[in-house]
Amino acid sequence: MKRSQRISVAVFLSLIVSVGCESASSNQSRKPNIVILATGGTIAGAGATGTQSAYTSGAVTIDAMVDAVPGVKDLANIKGEQVANVGSQDMSFDIMLKVAKRINELLPKKDVDGIVVTHGTDTMEETAYFLNLVVKSDKPVVLVGSMRPSTAVSADGPLNLYNAIGVAVDPKSRGLGVLVVMNDWIHAAHSLTKTSTTDVQTFMSPLRGLVGIAAYGHNDYYNAPPWKHTTKSEFDVSNVTKLPRVDIVFGCADMSPDLIDASVNNGAKGIVIAGVGNGNMNKASLDAAERAAKKGVVVVRSSRVALGTVGRNVEVKDDDMGFVASDELNPQKSRILLSLALLKPRQVSQIQDLFYSY
Ligand code: ASP
């Protein structure tokens, strides 16, 4: 090789090396930016000792929560905002709207790559599903909580938070809708439900299975949720300050129809029946539900049973009575979808279509 050729090869190689170094260093400076929106719950709870079950929700700051998670700052640049501070039994539509609006402000920013919402587990599925319908971005939004307070022996919050941030920074999480990460499992907002009052392994997605598995920042994805959500959703709460009242009436043997009438008389615009079996109720309650539907209150038949779908016109003549069947949605998620559906005038048949697509 001539000397001049040797020089140009050397220059070429040094260029490759310098480009390589540049991308490695700019990759480092491009560590994803995650915003944690904290709302309270057991993940931020503290008890007097490591073994007592009594604790106070929302006693721990976001910084203290993040500091309790070794290595998490290697995954992302993390900023925190306290949006609310409640046990999620006190979660309200007002707080859900506040969280949704803040997410919709943050996600369009170039320097925000994903959101993690810390939340109590009691109503986490409801907030997750609400956000799934009203967030206008395909960047990751991940809800996380814990079953044990931060002070407990073997608190589950730190690993859950690590995994939630690991999922929020993963480009493969984009476009999957709102996700929930608990106990190493990644759930779709549409499918998960709380199944145990106290077990760490409480959340299941019994009908559709998991979206994937999270393991210390390494994630496996199995299933993309098939329903409409986020960027494909028609629901927009940017100008909404209040959601229509929708009540849930629980079905049982010898169910009292009075609760349905009371709901109507107290101003409900929609009623979800957590019916027995395939969304059934006794004759007296069917009559009350039909009275409600005739007054323009939208009645959705869901089920108190954990597994299975509620189908139209199976044992109840939905076409004649003017009811909606919830399909896969449990009563608490049916209530969220129905409240959003009632934000504008819609025919019962159009609301039924929403239950098939969301
Ligand atoms: N009651 C608590 C809450 O939902 C329970 C929990 O977070 O696990 O806020």
Q: What is the pLDDT of residues 188-245, one digit of tens each?
A: 999 999 999 999 999 999 999 999 999 998 999 999 999 999 999 999 999 999 999 9
What mean pLDDT do residues 310-322 have? 98
The larger pLDDT score, comparing residue 4 to residue 50, is at: 50
Which of 58-67, 145-154, 194-203, 268-277 shows the lowest per-residue confidence on average (mean pLDDT)? 58-67
Residue 1, in any domain of the structure: no
Task: Show the ligand 1 pocket: residues with CB < 6 angstroms.
Answer: 41-42, 57, 87-89, 120-122, 145, 147
Q: Atom of ligand 1 at shortest distance to CA of 87?
A: 9
Q: Atom of ligand 1 at shortest distance to CA of 43?
A: 7
Residue 336, in any domain of the structure: yes
Last residue of a domain, one of 170, 201, 232: 232
Residue 241, in any domain of the structure: no
pLDDT value for 58: 77
For the domain that residue 272 is a member of, what is the CATH number? 3.40.50.40
Task: Tell me the best of 53, 57, 96 to mutate to test the pocket of ligand 1, counting ligand atoms within 8 Å of each CB and taking the most.
Answer: 57
Give a three-class secondary structure readout of the chain: CCHHHHHHHHHHHHHHHHHHHHHHHHHHHCCCEEEEEEEECHHHCECCCCCCCCCECCCCCHHHHHHCCCCHHHHCEEEEEEEEEECHHHCCHHHHHHHHHHHHHHCCCCCCCEEEEECCCCCHHHHHHHHHHHCCCCCCEEEECCCCCCCCCCCCHHHHHHHHHHHHCCHHHCCCCCEEEECCEEEECCCCEECCCCCCCCEECCCCCCCEEEECCEEEECCCCCCCCHHHCCCCCCCCCCCCCEEEEECCCCCCCHHHHHHHHCCCCEEEEEEECCCECCHHHHHHHHHHHHCCCEEEEEECCCCCCECCCCCCCHHHHCCEECECCCHHHHHHHHHHHCCCCCCHHHHHHHHHHC
Residue 348, in any domain of the structure: yes
Last residue of a domain, one of 197, 232, 267: 232
Residue 10, in any domain of the structure: no
As annotated, the active-site residues are: 42
Last residue of a domain, one of 178, 210, 232: 232
Residue 220's domain comprises 31-232
Task: Please check whether residues 82 and 121 belong to one and the same domain.
Answer: yes
pLDDT value for 29: 60
Task: Please check whether residues 271 and 303 belong to one and the same domain.
Answer: yes
The yes-or-no verdict on residue 49 having pLDDT over 70 is yes
Q: Atom of ligand 1 at shortest distance to CA of 90?
A: 9
Task: Please check whether residues 172 and 321 belong to one and the same domain.
Answer: no
Task: Please check whether residues 196 and 337 belong to one and the same domain.
Answer: no
Task: Please check whether residues 184 and 284 belong to one and the same domain.
Answer: no
Task: Please check whether residues 118 and 155 belong to one and the same domain.
Answer: yes
pLDDT value for 280: 98
Task: Please check whether residues 252 and 222 belong to one and the same domain.
Answer: no
**pTM of the complete model beyond 0.85:** yes
